[in-house]
Amino acid sequence: MNITFLLKDGTKKSVSFEEGQTVLQVAEKNGIKLNSNCEGFGVCGGCHVKIENLSDKLPEISEKEDDTLDRVSGVSMDSRLACQVVLNSSLDGLIVKLI
């Protein structure tokens, strides 16, 4: 299963993932740096990303994630915290834009 990251410099990086990993874990495992300071607990907002496709297949946003996104600038309907999106087979081909 694959996920594509749209990097800040405009390049794309496609990598594989295993079911149960978070988007943040996959990014870090593949040398893609996000500004996460809370070690994946969903409270800092540093791993804010935009989901470019498959939004309807994402796990529902939690109240904690929603509260954190309320404090982050540049949030849109496609915003998620990379540490809170747990990947599964229905998300094969997901495209994530780094903010």
pLDDT for the residue numbered 71: 95
Average pLDDT value over all residues in the chain: 96
Helix, strand, coil fractions of the chain, as percent rounded to 5:
20, 25, 55
Distance between CA atoms of 60 and 65, rounded to whole angstroms?
Answer: 10
- For 22, the 3-state DSSP assignment is strand
- Indicate the number of domains in the chain: 1
Q: Are 21 and 87 in contact (CB under 8 A)?
A: yes
Residue 85 structural domain: 2-98
CATH classification at residue 41: 3.10.20.30
Per-residue confidence at 41, pLDDT binned at 50, 70, 90?
very high
